[in-house]
Amino acid sequence: MSPDRPQNWSAHLPPGHDGRFDLPAPGTLVGAWADRLADDPDRPLLHADDAWTTRGKFLERTSTVAGRLAAAGLVAGDRVLVSGPSSLDLAAAHVACLRLGLVVVPVNGAYTGGELAHIASDCRPVAALVDHDGWSALLRDLDSELTVTSTTIDLPAGPVPPLDRAAPGDPAVIGYTSGTTGAPKGAVLTQENLLAGAHAVCLAWRWTDADRLLLCLPLFHMHGLGVGLHGTLLAGGSAVLQQGFAPDRVLDGITDHGCSMFFGVPTMYHRLADHDRVADLGGLRLCVAGSAPLSPALHAGFADVGVSVLERYGMTETVMLVSNPFDGERRAGSVGFPLPGVDLYLDPSTAEILVRGPNVFGGYWERPDANAEEFADDPGGGDPWFRTGDLGSVDDDGYVTITGRAKELIITGGLNVFPAEVDEALTAHPAVAEVATAGAPSEEWGEVVVAFVVAADGHACPTVEDLRDFARDRLASHKLPRRVVPVEALPRNALGKVLRHELCEAAPHA
Ligand code: MLC
Ligand code: AMP
């Protein structure tokens, strides 16, 4: 094995494992869940809204919801927008859609009307299950035929249709992401992709039906949804769902419900680190960090209080890719070894991380241009490789480290911000002649959005409040700049392209 091709699945496998990566029959997420949930129906499954729901009640509820959706005319393959704060209704709506063979399009509830409209017009949903003020009217304006209801699914009842019939290659989720360039595009993940992603972490992290996860990540991104919720249902464990992140509530929830695992983005760990009960996390079987780099200092701070945080690396397009080992060294600053099933390769000239495997999506929704750019042919004639846009290196002993990004992307608090989208929104401000955004390092957020602004002739440079107020209707709040740096001119190369990396270097530390 060459060091730039660090497959070392055995680092993740439990003792006695035969080393193969076989997906559970029948090879679909819903098939694997159905087997799990039908067993021992009285076991607690999800805690939300101050009450536990058992496996049996959850299955029943998803069947009822599927009956209502089918009665509304939805059929397998139809796209459905789903968005709401974490709740039993949201989890049941998501699972019901998948059981019926619908394709869930999870949407961040903080999106503005324009951001929502882009997604809706791109994927053309047949229904929307959404809990946010104003979204129903907005979506109906876009498409008067659209079935719109909340995640409680306030639709007439109908007979329960055949469920869990999806095939492994059927699309199950379309996750919108900016990827390496351009407006957000939909990554189409199949039942098999989602099953493989969740199965790999269950295996690697020894996730069993005895586990209970404290799940405060939003259920509209891969971390909370594809790992937290899907993994819980696949392992047959249980989860305590919380709406939003509050360190006190997290620590109370862990104690009150006897949780064994916690998953969070580095910003959450940063906030937990300051809590006087942080050492309570040491009582958990496993704490996982991901979605953005966990600083070695934070890793070390947790180790000092007896918490060995396990960092892993994933993407919307691939579910999870690389993880530190459950047994063995959880190395600070490294993301560990490729997960079972994942084939990983470093481009020898650019050091970009390329991946393939049953967890890796097959392409973006109706975007042959992006698919041609972001997949590379295999010289050996095998499956194509997906270009992650992340740069990496591999230590002699096989640990993978993310060293940078080939893509223009800011990650703040575990959420992606595509700088060109912010530039476009801010350029429309009358006092702005030119603007370019970049990520400045921040201990709390990882990176924060900083706008470098050339003021228009005769105008003073707008303040950060001016720009935030101006763009609030166009951009979700996590994309708004937190700093403004007035500049005479933007650094550009000979072709006129803004040298964003120079801005990043100049950006003030937040
Ligand atoms: C909220 N705000 C953010 C922000 N989240 N600003 C920048 N970056 C963020 N991530 C805004 C709020 O809208 C508000 O704006 C202001 O910051 C203060 O909010 P807050 O109360 O401090 O933030 P909070 O609500 O506590 O949210 C912080 C957070 C949240 C870290 C809990 O961002 C979060 O849940 N992040 C996780 C995202 C996630 O799940 N990522 C996984 C992607 S999947 P205003 O203007 O109203 O004052 C993926 C693949 C993989 O990456 O590998 O996992
Ligand atoms: P998303 O498109 O929201 O799924 O974000 C995926 C991106 O998050 C990846 O391409 C990486 O750039 C980043 N990411 C995820 N996990 C990590 C990690 N542990 N360390 C560094 N970057 C990460």
What's the half-sphere exposure (Cβ side, CA atoms, 13 Å) at 52? 14
Please work out whether the CB of residue 290 comes within 6 Å of at least one atom of ligand 1.
Answer: yes
What's the half-sphere exposure (Cβ side, CA atoms, 13 Å) at 393? 6
* CA 124 to centroid of ligand 1, rounded, Å: 27
The yes-or-no verdict on residue 1 having pLDDT over 90 is: no
Please work out whether the CB of residue 414 comes within 6 Å of at least one atom of ligand 1.
Answer: yes
What's the pLDDT tens digit per position in 442-496? 999 999 999 999 999 999 999 999 999 999 999 999 999 999 999 999 999 888 8
The yes-or-no verdict on residue 169 having pLDDT over 80 is: yes
What per-residue confidence (pLDDT) applies to 284? 98
Q: Which ligand is nearest to the CA of 271?
A: 1
Q: Which ligand is nearest to the CA of 312?
A: 2
**Cα–Cα dist 376/241, whole Å:** 39
What per-residue confidence (pLDDT) applies to 495? 84
Please work out whether the CB of residue 292 comes within 6 Å of at least one atom of ligand 2.
Answer: yes
Average pLDDT over residues 269-297: 97
Please work out whether the CB of residue 86 comes within 6 Å of at least one atom of ligand 1.
Answer: no
Please enumerate, as own/partner, the contacts of 129-135 that have beta carbons within 8 Å and a separation of 24 or more: 129/80, 129/81, 129/82, 129/83, 129/84, 129/93, 129/97, 129/153, 130/81, 130/82, 130/83, 130/84, 131/83, 131/84, 131/85, 131/89, 131/90, 132/83, 132/84, 135/83
* CA 220 to centroid of ligand 1, rounded, Å: 12
Average pLDDT over residues 248-259: 98
188-201: string of b/e by CB count within 10 Å (b at 16+)? bbbbbbbbbbbbbb
What per-residue confidence (pLDDT) applies to 451? 96
Please work out whether the CB of residue 221 comes within 6 Å of at least one atom of ligand 1.
Answer: yes
Neighbours of 169 (CB within 10 A): 12
> Percentage of the chain with pLDDT > 90?
88
The yes-or-no verdict on residue 509 having pLDDT over 70 is: no
Ligand 1: residue of 220, 269, 291, 412 to mutate (most ligand atoms within 8 A of CB) is 291
Q: Which amino acid is at 371?
A: N
What's the pLDDT tens digit per position in 85-118? 999 999 999 999 999 999 999 999 999 999 999 9
The yes-or-no verdict on residue 35 having pLDDT over 90 is: no
**Cα–Cα dist 61/423, whole Å:** 45
Q: Which ligand is nearest to the CA of 292?
A: 2
Q: Which amino acid is at 288?
A: V
**Cα–Cα dist 11/6, whole Å:** 11
Please give the domain boundaries of the chain with CATH numbers for all domains: 410-506 (3.30.300.30)
Q: Which range among 2-11, 180-189, 264-273 has the greatest average pLDDT?
A: 264-273
What per-residue confidence (pLDDT) applies to 7? 67
* CA 12 to centroid of ligand 1, rounded, Å: 30
What per-residue confidence (pLDDT) applies to 505? 74
